[in-house]
Structure 1
Amino acid sequence: MKLPRSVQIKEVGPRDGLQNEEKMISTEKKVEWINKLSKTGIEYIEVTSFVHPKWIPALADAVEVVQRIERNPNVTYAALVPNLKGLERALEGNIDEVSIFMSASETHNQKNINKSLEGTFPILKDVVTEALSAGKKVRGYVSTVFGCPYEGSVPLDQVKKVIDKLFQMGVYEISLGDTIGVANPRQMDYVLTELIENYSSENFALHLHDTRGMALANTIIGLMKGITVFDSAAGGLGGCPYAKGATGNVASEDLIHMLHEMGIETNINLSTFMDALRVLEGEIEKNFPSHQLQIRS
């Protein structure tokens, strides 16, 4: 197997993991968790979302969280930003990096953003332009790349069109989302092969949900195709409020464990990472779908 020597894990738990939780986590606990994550060796944490609090009340304290965390100079602190108003709040909090997002499928984009694909592009272009002008790097998320809860299969040409538009705006990396966890390794190989023909594997990250238990298998394909950036969420938390049945992201600790066992470096101390996760125990009233957490309980 031709595999990279090291990969970067981008921890999205504080944003993607908490955005869909019914029980509200206090600002104090969020800050404590992020501070502990910052000491694990991880290099990138998506700490919150500046979507209007009406849509994601669990992250209504975005500015306060960003302003209160203890910044580790070796960590990039990023946040999801939907529009110029959200960017204004993100800049107020002095976020390090901006993430924009949209879907590859029309229906999911309408449900998630309340706009058509064509109607979304100019809004995101404004965000990217202003963020770059403010000296912030911009990352792009594309959801439903491998399947949509409303439309089923998503034509690859449509995925490419969205990706092309985002790269033209100036994003440096696009995270390819398996939003409902339907991708299989053969499909993953095909999609990545097609996309890497037009771009480099260095332009992409994978954002895999483990709804059907295939996230780690798909990760292997990504590694073999040269992908070296992977999104994951501590504990396997997460899910999309506009994708019925979608369970959480691949658990960061399961991903870290697999990579380390394969001799692939992440720069993350797994034991310290597990200790950080325990900040949320008792705060979230459900079992974490993390294998490592169950083993170490």
Structure 2
Amino acid sequence: MTNYPKVLITDETLRDGLQIERSGVTVAEKLELLNRMVDAGLKRMVVGAFVNPKWSPQMGDTYELVKQIEPRPDVKFFSLALNDRGREERKAFTPPLSAEELPATHLHLCGVFIQRNTNKTLEDQERSWRLPIDRAVALGLKESAIGLSSGFGSNWTGKVSHEARMEALQRQYDAWSEAGIKVRRVDMADPMGWNTPTEVAKDVRAIKERFPTIDIFHVHFHNARALALLSFYEVLNLLQPTDTIIADTAIGGIGGCPYCGNGQATGMIATEDLVHLLQTLGIETGIHLDRLIETSHRLSEILGRPLHSQVSFNGPLPDQDSLYSEDVPVVFTFEEAQHFRLGSSVYEGNARPWIKEAK
């Protein structure tokens, strides 16, 4: 038992992760990765997107992938949909896909990004952002979510102020409240990696004060400036045991939006790095870190490039049973550092200059 909030990890490898990679990852490889992640203990993952394959070709096989997913009673599979057509297509595959957990409104705060990402304008958004509220009222739903995209800043238009974020959230909160629907969750989406621990902490404190019904914080932090895990840690320390964090991550820290300007360099929090952090804090995840590390290396093989997870490079902190042997020689390369999982063959022949040779 800890004083930390509950943490739910939603792995985005197969959606946000692969959408930024060149086409060529097969359905069979995606299923292999999915099964590896389930075997490692992940209970929530986004497996694809019902979007136009002309603009997101890596998601063009989502139909075929979803058809082959075997439902697991304890695992939730999600998929992105950006419009009514996509939502109807997603509904046809539910199950094995899980339904949206809460109806939600979202406001993009960058006009350039919403145009590039969804081919809509801020004026289009203004005309339609309340539609989820109307649908929720018609269905008699009682709880909801509010959220922002590009809330911390934009590569195209610059930094967004804390006051602007709070105003945009207040508009949504008031609209749901006027409809008689309780707001339980806030979605903090940062596709361009402008999150900083300072701004995130400022927002969390204000949200807890201004919107007391919110007890679920969904964070989708990209890691373009290497601050995503630090920002997550701020949220973790500011919330209470009665709160919940939903953290979006990706194996190997891959991920990024093609329309944000940073490509594969954008990245996300690496799933295995976050799991390791939680374990060091005594937060139980039910996830096998060693299996995640093996999945990360398999994903690297599939993509044909190094990934971004430090834990996969170096292994978790050794316990008493896995401390390094004093016989380990000098180690220089990434490959040689893999002795924690591959054994001594990776550094065979390297020198041990601290050992005096017999004369």
TM-score bucket (shorter structure): 0.7 to 0.9
Name the CA shift for 1:195/1:102 in 2 (closer, same or farther; >3 Å): same
1:267 aligns with 2:268: no
Instruction: Tell me the distance in 2 between the aligned counterparts of 1:289 and 1:41.
Output: 21
Matches within 5 A, 1:42-53: 42-53=42-53
* 1:169-202 superposed Cα distances (whole Å, 9 cap, x missing partner): 6786333123222322222211222222222552
Decide which of 301, 307, 323 is 1:288's aligned counterpart: 307
2:173 maps to 1:154: no
Provide structure 2 residue ranges, at least 5 long, that are not aligned to the other structure: 316-337, 339-359
SS in 2 for 1:18: helix
Is 1:179 matched up with 2:191? yes
Q: Following TM superposition, by how much is the alpha carbon of 1:144 offset from its aligned partner in structure 2, in angstroms?
A: 1.4
> Which residue does the alignment assign to 2:234?
221
Q: CA deviation at 1:157?
A: 4.2
- Offset from partner CA, 1:59-104 (integer Å, 9 cap, x none): 1111221121122211111111111110121112222134976622
Mark the runs of 5 or more structure 1 residues left unpaired by the alignment. none
- Candidates 93, 97, 100, aligned match of 2:99: 97
Aligned to 1:144: 150
Give the superposition deviation at 1:55.
1.6
- For the residues of structure 1 that align with 2:296 and 2:280, how far apart are their CA atoms? 21
Identity %: 27
Separation of aligned partners in 1, 2:172 and 2:74: 27
Q: 1:202 aligned to 2:207? A: no
Change (3 A) 1:77 1:128: farther
Q: Give the alignment's Cα RMSD to 1 decimal.
A: 2.9
* Partner of residue 17, structure 1: 17
Distance 2:145 2:81 in 1: 10
Question: How far apart in 2 are the matches of 1:64 and 1:124?
Answer: 31
- TM-score norm. by structure 2 comes to 0.73
Matched residues, number: 295
* Contact 2:12/2:47, CA 8 A, preserved across alignment: yes
Retained in 2: the 8 A contact 1:35–1:69? no
With 106-115 and 191-200 compared, the bigger mean Cα shift is at 191-200
The aligned residue for residue 230 of structure 1 is 247
Instruction: Note the C-alpha offset of 1:216.
Output: 1.8
C-alpha spacing 1:127/1:266, structure 2 compared with 1 (3 Å): same
> What secondary structure does 1:54 align onto?
coil
User: Distance between the aligned counterparts of 1:125 and 1:105, measured in 2?
Assistant: 18
TM-score normalized with structure 1 length: 0.87
Q: Deviations over 1:106-145 (max 9, x none)?
A: 2211221111234136556556766995x9x987763212
Q: Does 1:57 align with 2:57?
A: yes
Structure 1 pair 244–295 and aligned structure 2 pair: CA distance change class (3 A)? same
- The aligned amino acid for 2:223 is D
Are the equivalent residues in 2 in contact too, given 1:29–1:279 (CA < 8 A)? no
Structure with more contact order per residue of length (Cα contacts < 8 Å, sep ≥ 6): 1
What SS class does the counterpart of residue 39 from structure 1 fall into?
helix
